[in-house]
Each structure stands twice: as C-alpha cells, then as structure tokens.
C-alpha cells in the first residue's frame, strides 16, 4: 500500500489549521494505528475563555493498549459537564452559540468508549455545522513519516507554530483580550457561523 499524500491525527474539535489543510486536500485521512501522545490535540481542544486561551482535555484510561483506535476514555470524573460549562462560559455571548447549541449538547450527554470514537464525532459535528462535504477515511495500517508528502500527525500541535496564516475575526472577549489565532474550530463556528467555510478557504499556508 503506497504512503498517503497527507495524513492527519485524530483530534478533539481540531484547530482551525487542521480544517484548512483538510479542505485544501479535499478529504480527511486519519491514522487510528498510531500511539496516543500526551499534551496533543488528540484529547484536547483550545478555546478562548474569559481569562484567555483554555484547554479542554479528555481524560483517558492508563495502561492497556495505547493505540488511538483502542484507547479508552475515563469517566471517573464528570469532565463532560465541565467541558460544557466551559463552552457556555466562553461562547454564550457569541453570535452563533445558541444556533448550534441544541446540536452540540448531546455529545456531552453520551459516553463514547474510545477516544477515536469521540474525536470522530466531534469532527463530523464541525463539518456538519460548516456544511463541508468532505469524506473521512482511515489508514489500514501505520505509516512512518518517510514517504508521506505532508505528515500532519505531529506537526499540528499545541506547542508548535501554526502552519497557516490567519486573519483576525471578532472574538467574544475582544474588548479585553488580544486576538488569538488557530484555536479550536468551535471558536470560529460560534463567532462566524455560516461564514466559517469562507474563512477557511481564505487561509493560506506559511
């Protein structure tokens, strides 16, 4: 099997750059065979709260298989309730939160077994909100970086510089906070709504 041209990692409501590159490729190819990596977007998203950027992290069970496709989510704490409260606090005043709220909230009332399942649901929700008809597929095996034209599994990362150039848009707390780019796709959706797709199309790589 030849190596893919572009490969993305699973992510929880991925950052804007993730969707920009997926849109440019015209498809989403995910790797369920890679090992889970801490402090990555695989189990977290970054939103803009009243005090600045805030990471919402999904706890995972320790031990056992660490491949994304089998990694189990921990429900020992009610993190879903906390994530929803954080989203409300951050975006209740945004132009489009109420428009998408009823479609988003059920995710935080479900209990997907694996991180892979929850990440995929979050990606599908975001695509639906933006009316993006992009196919989602998985690799059938693990591919090393060698041979992949654009391996984004470790390149799109909270601690690494963004791959894209972005223009500013009005964010909820812009009256007291500087603009923060390349946040979770939810920040874009709640603030720009139907214009989110056009924003993605106008972004370019650095």
Residue 21: per-residue pLDDT: 95
Structure-token pair, residue 161 = 């510089």
| Residue 132 CB contacts under 8 Å (≥ 6 apart), including other chains | 19, 23, 197
What pLDDT digit, counting tens, does each position of 65-123 carry?
A: 689 999 999 999 999 999 999 999 999 999 999 999 999 999 999 999 999 999 999 99
* pLDDT of 30 over the 90 cut: yes
| Segment 137-141 mean pLDDT | 92
Structure-token pair, residue 88 = 């409300």
CA dihedral (167, 152, 22, 83) positive or negative: negative
What pLDDT digit, counting tens, does each position of 194-205 carry?
A: 999 999 999 988
State the pTM of this model: 0.94
Residue 1: per-residue pLDDT: 65
What pLDDT digit, counting tens, does each position of 69-82 carry?
A: 999 999 999 999 99
* pLDDT of 2 over the 90 cut: no
Residue pointed to by tokens 């970086």: 145
Residue 77: per-residue pLDDT: 94
How deeply is 17 buried, as exposed, middle or buried, from its count of CB atoms within 10 A (0-12, 13-18, 19+)?
A: buried
| Segment 156-161 mean pLDDT | 94
DSSP letters, 63-99, are: SS--BTTTPBBP-SS-HHHHHHHHHHHHHTTSTTHHH
Residue 66: per-residue pLDDT: 86
How much is the mean pLDDT over the chain? 94
Cβ–Cβ < 8 Å for 30, 139 = yes
Cβ–Cβ < 8 Å for 189, 171 = no
Cβ–Cβ < 8 Å for 48, 175 = no
The SS3 assignment for 204 reads strand
Residue 112: per-residue pLDDT: 95
């Amino acid at each position: 099997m030849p190596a893919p041209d572009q490969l993305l990692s699973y992510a929880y409501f991925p950052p804007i750059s993730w969707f920009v590159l997926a849109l440019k490729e015209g498809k989403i190819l995910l790797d369920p065979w890679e090992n889970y990596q801490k402090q990555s977007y695989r189990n977290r998203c970054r939103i803009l709260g009243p005090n600045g950027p805030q990471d919402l992290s999904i706890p995972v069970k320790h031990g056992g298989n660490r491949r994304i496709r089998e990694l189990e989510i921990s429900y020992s704490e009610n993190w879903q309730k906390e994530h929803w409260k954080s989203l409300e606090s951050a975006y209740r005043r945004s132009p489009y939160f109420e428009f998408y709220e009823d479609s988003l909230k059920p995710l935080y009332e479900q209990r997907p077994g694996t991180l892979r399942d929850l990440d995929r649901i979050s990606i599908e929700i975001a695509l639906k909100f933006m009316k993006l008809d992009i196919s989602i597929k998985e690799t059938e095996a693990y591919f090393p970086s060698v041979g992949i034209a654009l391996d984004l599994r470790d390149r799109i990362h909270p601690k690494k510089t963004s791959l894209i150039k972005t223009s500013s848009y009005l964010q909820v707390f812009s009256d007291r906070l500087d603009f923060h780019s390349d946040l979770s796709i939810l920040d874009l959706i709640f603030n720009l709504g139907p214009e989110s797709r056009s924003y993605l199309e106008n972004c370019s790589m650095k």
